[in-house]
Amino acid sequence: MNRKAVFTAVLAFSVLCLPAFGQRLRADINFDGLFDNREYKNDMQPQTIYGMRVMPEMGIDYPIGNCDHTLVAGFSKIWEFGSRDTIAPDIILYYRYGGDNWVTYFGSIPRHNLQRQLPDAFLYDSIAFFEPTIGGTLIQYYGERWQTELYCNWFSRQTETDREAFRIVWDGYVGNRLLGAGWFTAMTHFAKPKEPGHYIYEKFQLNPYLTLRLNPGAGLWLKTDAGVLCSLVRCRKDGRWHSPTGFLGDIQLGWRMFDIKSTVYTGESQQPFLDDPEAGLTFHRSDPFYNHTFYNKTELGVMFVADKNVQLGFRWNLHFTPDTPVHNQQLITVRCTLGARKHFYNRR
């Protein structure tokens, strides 16, 4: 018997024997379709992103007492329509260990495992779409009144020309269905490549906020957040810290499948090294609209399909910045989740 036949036989035997050892197989498939037409003006880059992403995963659960051990493997593949560049698939491979109210991940972890997705002021949605995994460690706690998570995303390894770069994020929420308070914090370390002539950049971000939610009935709901967005940013070339601070708030009104949302930032420019070719968007990783002293995003949305497995929606976004014509954006999103896992899409 050749090696291939032996391997196949051992694999088949192992799968058949899994129930005898208290193990369970699990499979999940996540599909995301995106049409994002950005008719931006002046200092904002117009572009159209049209593509899809598929993320199949398969894992083995091994419960021991009150804890679960899980090993998951899969991949993430993106197809950008019209592009002649082939985007290589990203590997998904992580170990998950959890109890009643906490869980720990280690490996290449899909972002949909997060309790809360980072807002645009922390992570540009384009980066989130094309980098759907976190490389590192994730720790989560979830209780009845509060939830929190801490993770490290190591998104660039040092080479002769590439920087060592990672981001540590801590977020959480405390409250009930009416009132609550939350926070997002992030520390980004943008180190030097091996070749000389470069400098280290660092950024600390903090966004504490208060939340009010109202559900008067008849399919009507209201949600509003208000808080502070502040940063500490420096390049070690001169060692001078920049400390932009401002107000960040939003209000969202929904009725059944329709909603309107308005987000406002007013304060100092949050990205002091955005025009620096050594740093730029690769360092800041947040939406460039927050480099303006005033920014308003007004969204008109309709969700045609919304259940635990399928979401299909359209949004018309209007972006307002000082001394600039209105930026216009049309966004169609399709999301399909097949599997037993609980995801935290779009939670804040």
Predicted local confidence at residue 344, as pLDDT: 44
Per-residue confidence (pLDDT) for residue 347, from 0 to 100: 46
Write phi, then psi, for 20 (nearest 5 degrees): -65, -25
Instruction: Please say if the pLDDT value at position 14 is more than 90.
Output: no
Structure tokens at 145: 């009144």
pLDDT value at residue 8: 47
Query: Is pLDDT of 46 > 90?
Result: yes
Q: Decide which of 65 and 224 is more confident.
A: 224
Distance, CA of 165 to CA of 232 (rounded, Å): 17
- How does residue 50 score in pLDDT terms, banded at 50, 70 and 90? very high
Give me the residue label for tokens 């391997």.
7
The pLDDT value recorded for residue 158 is 93
Question: What confidence tens digit (pLDDT) does each residue in 79-101 have?
Answer: 999 888 888 899 999 999 998 89
State the pLDDT confidence band at 62, using cuts at 50, 70 and 90.
confident
Handedness of CA 332, 310, 176, 96 (dihedral sign): negative
Give the list of residues 6+ apart from residue 205 with CB closer than 8 angstroms, or none: 121, 122, 184, 185, 186, 187, 188, 229, 230, 231, 286
pLDDT higher than 60, residue 11: no
What integer pLDDT is reported at residue 21 of this predicted model?
52
Q: What is the pLDDT of residue 348?
A: 44
Joined tokens for residue 5: 């036949």
Confidence of residue 5 (pLDDT cuts 50, 70, 90): low
Q: Provide the pLDDT for residue 323.
A: 87
**Rounded-to-integer distance, Cα 312 and Cα 165, Å:** 35
How does residue 105 score in pLDDT terms, banded at 50, 70 and 90? very high
Summarize the confidence of residues 279-302 as an average pLDDT. Answer: 97
Residue 4 has pLDDT above 70, yes or no: no
Compare 269 and 339 and report the one with higher pLDDT: 269
User: CA-to-CA distance for 48 and 38, rounded, in angstroms?
Assistant: 6
Assigned token pair, 194: 């091996």
Asked whether 145 and 170 are in contact (CB, 8 A), the reply is no
The pTM score is: 0.89
Ramachandran quadrant class, 149 (left: phi over 0; alpha: psi -120 to 50; beta: rest): beta
Cα gap 17→5, rounded to integer Å: 18
Residue 87, pLDDT score: 86
Q: What is the percent of the chain with per-residue pLDDT over 90, rounded to a whole number?
A: 78
Instruction: Name the pLDDT band for 12 (thresholds 50, 70, 90).
Output: very low
Give the pLDDT score at 221.
96
What's residue 68's pLDDT?
87
Residue 282 has pLDDT above 80, yes or no: yes
